[in-house]
């Protein structure tokens, strides 16, 4: 096998001296049964839909249902973005993804002096429950899921979303969606942090606990090391597992 590989690669050498995953784990040229000799199928690989989920979190994965398709959208006022959401749903989008403006991301109301010139840019401005009601007016939130890319004020935005749904007679237990709620990422990347790390992670843990008990179909955290921390200057993703352990330890 080794001689065959050497012959192949001598005819067409690899582009790079080293290939790695986004977490900087080195990728070998080829894998053979010898690489699996020390692995136990049930505990290390498992079946699709079963722990440790190396073959997907659902038994049939995309053979059973395609992934949710949602375009990141948010602009101007709640009414402006609502029109955009309706257009996307009419075009066949199967979920909603909310982009908030920078003042909202950092917990400022639109009338704050610090929000001047930023309201409704790069996202939608949401200050009140009325804004949240206008944002999702007429949309079937009991049938499609909603993603909200926001971190320090995530619990507040989510509370507004739940209250908006309840005002429409929709039980919070059937609501589905995701809040990013990854406050530690903000200290590395986007920098929209509001609290020091320890209370930030405490809020995350409280949000996860509440969601697990009261809004079971909701994903209460979306750990974002894969994209934002890299864009924020981290060239290798290997430290991210330590970030995960920090969140898990707080939850415990």
Question: Would you state the pLDDT for residue 161?
Answer: 98
Whether 220 shows a pLDDT value over 90: the answer reads yes
Map out the domains of the chain as residue ranges.
Answer: 68-251
Average pLDDT, stretch 19-30?
88
Average pLDDT, stretch 38-47?
91
Whether 160 shows a pLDDT value over 90: the answer reads yes
Residues 226-250 pLDDT 10s? 555 555 555 545 445 555 565 556 5
HEC secondary structure over the chain: CHHHHHHHHHHCCCCCCCCECCCCCECCCCCCHHHHCCCCHHHHHCCCCCCCCCCCCCCCHHHHCCCCCCCEECCCCHHHHHHHHHHHHHCCCCEEEEEECHHHHCCCCCCCHHHCCCCCCCCECCCCHHHHHHHCCCCCCCCCEEEEECCCCHHHHHHHHHHHHHHCCCCHHHCCEEECCCHHHHHHCCCCCCCCHHHHHHHHHHHHHHHHHHCCCEECCCCCHHHHHHHCCCCCCCCHHHHHHHHHHHHC
Question: Would you state the pLDDT for residue 238?
Answer: 47
Question: Would you state the pLDDT for residue 192?
Answer: 84
Residues 93-152 pLDDT 10s? 999 999 999 999 999 999 999 999 999 999 999 999 999 999 999 999 999 999 999 999
Assign 81 a pLDDT band (cuts: 50, 70, 90): very high
* Mean pLDDT of the chain, nearest integer: 88
The least confident of 66-80, 85-99, 124-138, 215-229 is 215-229
């Amino acid at each position: 096998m080794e001689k065959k590989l050497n012959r192949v690669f001598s005819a067409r050498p690899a582009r790079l001296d080293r290939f790695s995953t986004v977490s900087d784990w080195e990728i070998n040229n080829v894998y053979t049964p010898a690489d699996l000799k020390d692995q136990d199928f049930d505990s290390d690989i498992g079946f699709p839909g079963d722990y440790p989920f190396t073959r997907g979190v659902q038994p049939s994965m995309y053979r059973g249902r395609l992934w949710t398709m949602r375009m990141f959208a948010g602009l101007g006022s709640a009414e402006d973005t609502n029109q955009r959401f309706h257009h996307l749903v009419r075009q066949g989008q199967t979920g909603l993804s909310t982009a908030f403006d920078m003042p909202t991301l950092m917990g400022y109301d639109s009338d704050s002096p610090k929000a001047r010139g930023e309201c409704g840019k790069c996202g939608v401005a949401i200050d009140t429950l009325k804004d949240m009601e206008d944002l999702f007016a007429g949309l079937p939130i009991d049938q499609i899921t909603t993603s909200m890319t926001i971190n320090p004020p995530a619990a507040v935005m989510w509370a507004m979303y739940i209250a908006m749904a309840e005002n429409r007679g929709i039980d919070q237990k059937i609501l589905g969606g995701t809040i990013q709620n990854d406050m530690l990422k903000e200290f590395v990347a986007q920098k929209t942090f509001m609290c020091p790390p320890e209370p930030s992670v405490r809020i995350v843990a409280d949000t996860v606990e509440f969601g697990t008990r009261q809004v079971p179909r909701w994903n209460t955290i979306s750990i974002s090391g894969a994209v934002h921390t890299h864009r924020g200057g981290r060239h290798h993703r290997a430290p991210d597992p330590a970030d995960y352990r920090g969140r898990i330890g707080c939850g415990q």
